[in-house]
Structure 1
Amino acid sequence: MSDVPGESGIPQGLGGVLEPQVLEIPAANVRSSLAELENQASQVLNRLEYVKGAVEQQQQNPIPITPGFLQPDKKPTAEVLSTLETLISQLDVDEEPEFVLPPLDDAAQLAVITHSIASYLTSLDRQHLSRIVSKIVSDTNRWLSHMFRFMDCSTSYYRDSAECILYSVRLAIANRFPESVDNRLSQLQNATLYISENSSLFALQNTCRFIGLPVANIRTVPCNVITVARGTMDASELQKMIATDVEAGKVPLFVMADLGSSVCGEVDNLAVIRNVCNLSNVWLHCQGHCLAALAVTKGTLTGIKAIPDSMTLNLGNWLGMSGVPCVLMYKQIPTSMLTLFDVDPILSNRLTALSLWTIMQTMGVDAISERIFMAFDSCRQMHEMLSKIEGVKIWSKAPRQEAGKSFRALLNSPINYCILFESAIPVVVFQFDGTCAEKNAATNEVTASVGSEADVSVESQLPSDAVDSKTKDEPTSKSNISSYFDRLNGWLGQILLRDCSQLNLEIINHSLHGTCIRYSPFAPGYGELLPLSEVIESVGQFIEAQIEILLATVKHKARFNQLVAESPVLRLIELNDWAGLGSVHYVPEGWETLLTDQAKTELNRLNSALVEMLKAHDGAFSLGEGTDGLICVRFGMVTSETDVEELLDLVIQTGLKIQENSKILDTMSEILKKGIEAATMDLQREADEKLWQDGILRQVPLVGRVVNWWSPPIKESGVKGRSLNLTQGVVESTENIYKYHMQMTAKPNQLPGNKNPPTPLVQTPISADGGESLHSRNPSASSQLSSGQSVDRTVSTVQQQHPQQAQSNVIAGGDTTAPATTAALAQ
């Protein structure tokens, strides 16, 4: 038996020994069983795929509480699947109902169904199953090796890329330490692993913990800082670190190169790193989306010596399908090393290739290549479109351009291994920067004019990093980037996520550049949704319109801050979560020195009423709250035609209007209070005078009747009531009301033939001492005035605002024969 494995990764002679012992199963039974399984699996997938339809009904029927112990009674299959649908469809309260699971095309559905078939195949006899797996893995290995130009290789299949890294490190260990197990374990503690600082350390750290290596053995290699190769692994630093570790008695074991899997899609120089690894006998592993470009090349691929020892093929993301395993392709090694870490050397991690075996035949090599090509081409189109928009900064690498050749023509021609990776970009990372050349002069002038204002925050003005075009292309640390620009980019990202859902966009927080927007077409469930050229063109027009709004907002912000600083009634409020023009707090003159708790409450009511009136005028205004708990007016995004002075003047005039209305209510309240006091004093005085005039005997119950019979009292000597005339500001006696049975007021423009009513016998003028108040102390005043209605000193307006408190003539006390339409003064 040969020690070198075949294409399936198992000894070649094994299948020949076991195959004659396999019992044949009737083909009709196999077809019937698989067809039934496929039918049932398809029905379940269809139910889960359209789980949104049941969301509204399930919101009323929450998930039943699962008992702690398994119930003895069995449940129907439909009930169990219904419970599963309920679990999947549970959404947060703030989220809108949507399809939770991505849609499946025919190939993706087949990939998911084959997982059920693979589980079903495990019930076969082991010898029979081994023959099936050998055939599936052999075919898949051969197809992948030809498609990705990795000849004489072996393949393994895992759940994700983290497991591929784990197994590749195991292969490096088996290749580097072929001695006995005891000797291998003793030397393993000195093994070192190398990774770029731009790559994620999580998977490699988890691998070290799983194998038993110290996490400190991981070496982070610095990246290049020059513009051409920025963000890629520095091969010279890698060589120095390896030499240093060798001198220190360490064993360089594993180097992981990144080909487009980082945030900005940087591609390490594979040829140079390959030479460094060859000099030190280090295992080179590659991962990244750029490896998918190997499947779309039609011409001859040169520089083939740069092939790594192993690489991860994330076909699930590249084909946009769920249920497709990650493939680890690696150079052939002896069987004893290959099966060193496998519990089952024959079937371990190979049966999962069934889903890939089925969809590769279903799609064909042309469809697979075309889908990957469309993903790369959409990135190139996005990069070209964004590079033409003023105000957009692209941080991902630009695709390599060949004069006179399109991307497809470049792939159909002979191409170098490294040039291929530089031409295919897997992601586009961009952000709004606001440092356009045309606007630098104007923004610098405005910034200089307001830079001396001590009370205006520098962060709220135009960012300090938008002043020098010479240094705008240099990367800066996160601490030097204005948080205001991060908020602007966050706003832009939210708008794009909402209105451009046909693109796979996400908002990221870059360690150097702050908040950015990232487009990546390589995502599960995105295979059939790749954007066409027309879609990208329309998205470009939409982005350009939003960038114009952002540029206008940045342009007007400095002027906005200056005008707010000069206003006596507006105060600038910094909100860390607001990306609009800014926010202000309206403070009437003289109130800053009276910021007690009650005064703050009144200011909040005033600003709340102000926002309500402004929102009725323009929806761009909204209510905010500062860090000190004071409510403020937030200004949204503006356009280039917006007049900032007019906006602020609108706020000030609306605030003054609310103040004036509140002042009138204060005056009326004070008049009512004074009127009640004056009426009470007059009535009390007249009652005392009447008592002395009539005598005490008239007040005794039985004696009073005799006295009144003997000497009847004067008919009009009764106590007169009092009415409050709000128009004239006097308290009047009510004899005219009782005489004419109506309220009558003298008119200035009376006709000659008409007579004015007689003047009341008693008239007591009153005045409001609290009429100079700037803002109402009445808690209901601001809320009632928020509708924007003005208040006059007329009786009708008072009745409208406080129908329970005032009428034109409000009566207090008086004879019991007063009309029923009158009312008493209310406190």
Structure 2
Amino acid sequence: MSGDEEANVIDEKKQEEKVVAEIAASSIRSGLAELELKTSQVLQRLENVRTEPPASNETSDTTQQQLSTLLEGDRKPPSEILRSLEILIAYSESEDDPEFPLPALDDVSHLALISHSIIAYMSHLDRQHLLRVTGHIAGDTTRWLCSLFRFIDGATSYHTDNADATLRTVRLAIVSRCPGYLEGGIPALANPCFYISENTTPMRLQYACRQLGIPLEAIRLIPSTSSQGTMDLNLLQKQVQADLNANRTPLLVIADVGSSVCGYVDILTRMKDICKANNIWLHATGHGLASLVCTQGPGSISSVVDSIVLNLGFWLGVPSLPIALLHRQMQNSALTAFESDPIVSKRLNSLALWTSLQALGRETIAEKIHVAFQTCSILHEISSKCEGIRVVSRAPGGQAGINLIDIVNKPLDVNVLFETATSVVVFQFDGSLNPTSAKDQQDLNSTSSSSDAKGASYNKTVEKLTNASYYDRLNSWLGQIIQRDCPNFDFEIIEHGVHGTCIRYCPLELGLGEQPPSAENLENFAQSLESHVDILRATIRHKATFIRLVEKSDVLRIVNLPDWAGMGGVRFVPEGWESLLTDQAKTELNKLNADLVEALKSTDNAFSLGEGTDGLICVRFGMVTHDTDVEELLDLVVSVGKSVQENSRVLDTMSEIVKKGIEAATADLQRESDEKLWQEGILRHVPVVGRMVNWWSPPIKESGIKGRSLNLTQGVVESTENIYKYHMQMTGAPNQLPANKSPPTPMVQTPVGAPTAPPNFATPTSANHSRTVSQSSGASSSAPELVAVTPAAALSATATATTNN
């Protein structure tokens, strides 16, 4: 073979190898297109899944069985598997769940979710080809993030949560300070120390310590200043010096830039000086870092801190975006020393950011974040101007009151920027009143005139200092009402360590499908807040009067209600009841107050049934307005309570009459039985002989013993011959008798002795009497009310009388 032929053969082989090594672009396009189509169809179906609770128990059991079946031997088609997934998502046992469990997706969110499917698909590319693709995607994303957030010449890593990002930061700080750690491990560290503000949660740093085998005592919580809530840098400097003197290694300082509950911002420039002097890694985290996107002037954040964390998924409301960690460049070995596969584990995850950032664009991203900070500023202004509301979080603009729009084009000053951009608003109702306002002054004058006439001041309010738990309940009520009336705001009820229950709003913590509120939403919030705070102010103003009047009452007692945010609770207690501690007396008191609440509800919905800490029922008073007359309400409770008590006494009297009626009926039946025995002779009652006597001399047809009935109208026990002779046991109507004829008076009528004294509610006459006897209409009834004698004491006598009749 000649040299030319050999050269041709070699070229053909190389060409074949090249064709085999390359992947056809058409195949890639068709594969991605098919994957996108199927993923889009699945996402669209899940968006349209409605929550439909089972119509019956049988349906519920069937659904549960479908959701919990074991893995079958036969394979299932994909359509059936997806249908099972839809059933799992749609199934709900609560009626409070939303109609659609999954929110709708916009174009950017849809693209971000599809990117996760493409990531799994791309991981099967050839290794060299995958390295080239991920290098291009990660490089673009890093450049865009560094440009957006003013971090010059930075490197990036991508994480699933903040705890993982903190772990990465700790590792970078260790490698930066102790290069021998990569080879020597923990022995190369000389007692590391980490510093964090007490306002920031240490959970993420604790997670990093546990992962690295570092004791938790290495974490130093630095107290905050009382005025600004930021880390006390003088104490930080002292702590660092003390650790150095103890042969420890200060490694990391975490700066708070709006990550705490109240959005405090540490002074980064002073922190930078302390960290640079002691070779400490300075890391910044928080929502305030998002304001870097809004700036256009020269300057960079990388000249101040060593690393920052960017939570773009929250800030932009795009689901499943990874958390980006921007940090200063280090050696390649340090960047990849803690990764099992640096291509797939970290860099490939940037695809979702790569697609989302392009879909949004720089202007849209800056506008979204600027609107969020502007919303916080407006919300802070609305809350601070509302009488009775105290804003716990810091004010936008710091002490100078600068607006964000005034500094976006100026050279970057991180301290001024982060103080100006407020990412969190936290407020609470503390009851502070300003009598200079016209409305308040009018209320004060009206209450003063009424109080002067009654000899007491109504202007006294319930102070928060001595009633902190009550104000916590008021703020909890306010937070729930605002959440109901303002669904466009994601308000959160929190527990502050110093101020107690507060209401928090952060527009940079957006969920899937959430958007910042509009101007109309802000106006509705202002109206709702003002109206409900006005109710709270009226409630605490009237509560002092309420307590004073109840303490003066003879029959009302204050009831402690730990979980009630209304004006309070009272219990109607008849005089002398406190001297009784029996269970029966408590049962009677509960019934009396329950009947009282039912009677009050018919007049005003402000009353409700409550239960005190002692387990006894009480009357609860809800929220009130400024024009509410507390004394009139309490007088209503007393008057209705006495009326209910009188009705209770009537029932006690009626039960006493029934009891004495039973005794009279029993005595009558016994007496009549004895008389019949003597009249008819003893022989008629002797077995066998009595039959002969009755055959020889039959007894009189109507000589049997008559039964007895209790006439409540006349208060007598009478014989029952009218019941059986004239069939009056159901109606007793005279029209059933012959014309121009009235029923004769029963032959036997025994008066029932009334109780010597009316029974008191607190001292019931009988432990076994029942309150099921209802009072008749008295004189308006056309026939007497008949109450059968059914107690066991007279049951046998009644049965005997009926048999004889």
For this structure pair, what is the TM-score category when the shorter chain's length is used for normalisation? 0.7 to 0.9
Equivalent positions of 1:494-513 (< 5 A) are 494-513=480-499
1:133 and 1:381 mapped to 2: Cα distance? 43
Q: Which position in structure 2 is the counterpart of 1:104? A: 105
Structure 1 514/99 Cα, relative in aligned 2: closer, same or farther at 3 Å? farther
Counterpart position of 1:341: 338
Q: Which moved more, 1:686-695 or 1:353-362?
A: 686-695
**1:136 counterpart letter in structure 2:** I
Deviations 1:619-644, CA, capped at 9 Å, x for gaps: 32222222222122222111112222
CA distance in 2, matches of 1:67, 1:520: 39
1:262 is matched by which residue type in structure 2? S
Q: Distance in 1 between matches of 2:165 and 2:20?
A: 33
Give the aligned partner of residue 535 of structure 2.
Answer: 549
Q: How do 1:111-130 and structure 2 match up within 5 A? A: 111-130=112-131
Distance in 2, Cα, partners of 1:22 & 1:509: 64
What corresponds to 2:656 in structure 1?
A: 670
Whether the aligned pair in 1 keeps the contact of 2:424 and 2:506 (CA below 8 Å) is yes
Q: 1:537 to 1:778 in 2, by over 3 A?
A: farther
Q: How does 1:549-628 map to 2 (within 5 A)?
A: 549-628=535-614
For residues 572-721 of structure 1, the aligned pairs below 5 Å read 572-696=558-682, 700-708=690-698
Question: Could you tell me whether the CA contact under 8 Å between 1:738 and 1:818 is conserved in 2?
Answer: no
Cross-structure match for 1:248: 246
What's the offset of the Cα at 1:214?
A: 2.0
Of stretches 689-698 and 541-550 in structure 1, the one that deviates more from structure 2 is 689-698
Deviation (angstroms), 1:410: 3.9
Cα displacement string for residues 355-412 of structure 1 (whole angstroms, at most 9, x for unaligned residues): 0000111111111111111111111111011111101110011001799975435424
1:325 partnered with 2:291: no
3-state secondary structure, aligned to 2:277: helix
Counterpart of 1:350 in 2: which secondary structure?
helix
Aligned to 1:44: 42
Q: Displacement, 1:46?
A: 2.3
Instruction: Tell me whether 608-617 or 135-144 shows the greater mean CA deviation.
Output: 608-617
What secondary structure does 2:489 align onto?
coil
Structure 1 residue 156, shift from structure 2 partner: 1.0
- CA shift, 1:264, in A, is 0.1
**CA-to-aligned-CA distance 1:703-727 (integer Å, 9 cap, x gap):** 334335xxx96x9877666554322
Cα–Cα, structure 1 residues 561 and 334, in superposed 2: closer, same or farther, change >3 Å? Answer: same
Cα pair 1:698 1:705 within 8 Å, conserved? no
RMSD: 3.7
Question: After superposition, what is the alpha-carbon deviation per residue over 1:393-433, rounded to whole angstroms, capped at 9, x for unaligned?
Answer: 10011001799975435424555222111111111001110
Q: Does the 8 Å CA contact 1:481/1:514 hold for their aligned counterparts? A: no
Residue range with higher mean Cα deviation, 175-184 or 591-600: 175-184
**Residue deviations 1:592-620, cap 9 Å, x none?**
21221222222222222222222333332
8 Å Cα contact 1:687-1:719 kept in structure 2: yes
Comparing 28-37 and 647-656, the one that deviates more: 647-656
**Contact 1:108/1:321 (CA < 8 Å) preserved in 2?**
yes
Determine the C-alpha separation between the residues in 1 that align with 2:503 and 2:28.
50
For the Cα contact (< 8 Å) 2:395–2:422, is it kept in 1?
A: yes
Moved more, 586-595 or 683-692: 683-692
Letter in 1 for 2:293: A
- Which residue of structure 2 lines up, in the alignment, with residue 491 of structure 1? 477
What is the SS of the residue equivalent to 1:502? Answer: coil
Which region of structure 1 is more displaced relative to structure 2, 656-665 or 121-130? Answer: 656-665
The whole-number CA distance in structure 1 between the counterparts of 2:444 and 2:713 is 57
Q: Which moved more, 1:363-372 or 1:233-242?
A: 233-242
The CA deviation at 1:778 is 8.3
Contact 1:319 1:371 in 2 (8 A): yes
Q: Deviations over 1:438-490 (max 9, x none)?
A: 279979x99xx9xxxxxxxxxxx955545xxxxxxxxxxxxx76101111111
The answer to whether the 8 A contact 1:22-1:127 is kept is: no
Task: Give the C-alpha shift of residue 737 in structure 1.
Answer: 7.8
**Aligned CA distance change for structure 1 residues 570 and 78 (closer, same or farther; 3 Å):** farther
> Would the aligned equivalents of 1:50 and 1:99 in 2 still touch at CA under 8 Å?
yes
Note if contact 2:655-2:769 (Cα within 8 Å) is conserved in structure 1.
no
Q: 1:559 to 1:186 in 2, by over 3 A?
A: same
Structure 2 distance, partners of 1:770, 1:74, is 88
**CA distance change for structure 1 residues 481 and 77 in 2, over 3 Å: closer, same or farther?**
farther
Tell me how far apart the structure 2 counterparts of residues 799 and 521 of structure 1 sit (CA, whole Å).
Answer: 74
Q: Do the aligned partners of 1:258 and 1:286 also contact (CA within 8 Å) in 2?
A: yes
User: Is 1:313–2:279 an aligned residue pair?
Assistant: no
- 1:103-130 deviations in whole A, cap 9, x for unaligned? 3211011111100100000010010000
The answer on whether the counterparts of 1:150 and 1:307 sit within 8 Å (CA) in structure 2 is no
Distance 1:270 1:693 in 2: 117
TM-score normalized by the length of structure 1: 0.82
Distance 1:253 1:657, change over 3 A: same
Residue type at the aligned position of 2:753: S
User: In structure 1, what is the Cα distance between the partners aligned to 2:516 and 2:786?
Assistant: 61
Alignment of 1:266-285 (within 5 A): 266-285=264-283
Corresponding residue of 2:157: 156
Flag the 1:382–1:246 CA change in 2: closer, same or farther, 3 A.
same
Note if contact 2:492-2:505 (Cα within 8 Å) is conserved in structure 1.
yes
Q: Cα distance, 1:92 vs. partner?
A: 5.5
- Greater alpha carbon shift after TM alignment, 544-553 vs 635-644: 635-644
Deviations 1:688-745 (A, max 9, x none): 334434545666333334335xxx96x98776665543223233457788898879xx
Counterpart-to-counterpart distance in 2, 1:82 and 1:801: 68
For residues 637 and 783 of structure 2, what CA distance do their matches in structure 1 show? 26
Where in structure 2 are the equivalents of 1:736-747 lying within 5 Å?
Answer: none
Equivalent residue runs for 1:170-189 within 5 Å: 170-179=171-180, 181-182=182-183, 185-189=186-190
Structure-2-length-normalised TM-score: 0.84
Q: Does 1:395 align with 2:395?
A: no
Query: What does residue range 443-482 of structure 1 map to in structure 2 within 5 Å?
Result: 463-465=462-464, 482=468
1:768 equivalent in structure 2: 754
Q: State the Cα distance separating 1:274 from its structure 2 match.
A: 1.0
Query: Match for 2:288: what amino acid?
Result: C
Find 2:428's aligned residue among 427, 431, 449.
Answer: 431
Report deviation, 1:269.
0.6
CA distance in 1, matches of 2:636, 2:578: 22
Structure 1 residue 761: deviation in Å?
Answer: 5.6
Cα distance in 2, alignment partners of residues 320 and 409 from structure 1: 26
Shift of 1:282: 1.0
Inter-partner Cα distance in structure 2 for 1:602 and 1:44:
63
Name structure 2 gaps, 5 residues minimum.
Answer: 1-17, 452-459, 730-739, 792-796
Q: Does 1:350 align with 2:340?
A: no
Structure 2: how far apart are the matches of 1:29 and 1:277? Answer: 54
Shift of 1:261: 0.6
What is the CA–CA distance in structure 2 between the aligned matches of 1:233 and 1:403, rounded to whole Å? Answer: 21
- 2:79 equivalent in structure 1: 78
Query: Structure 2 matches for 1:214-293, cutoff 5 A?
Result: 214-225=215-226, 227=227, 230-293=228-291
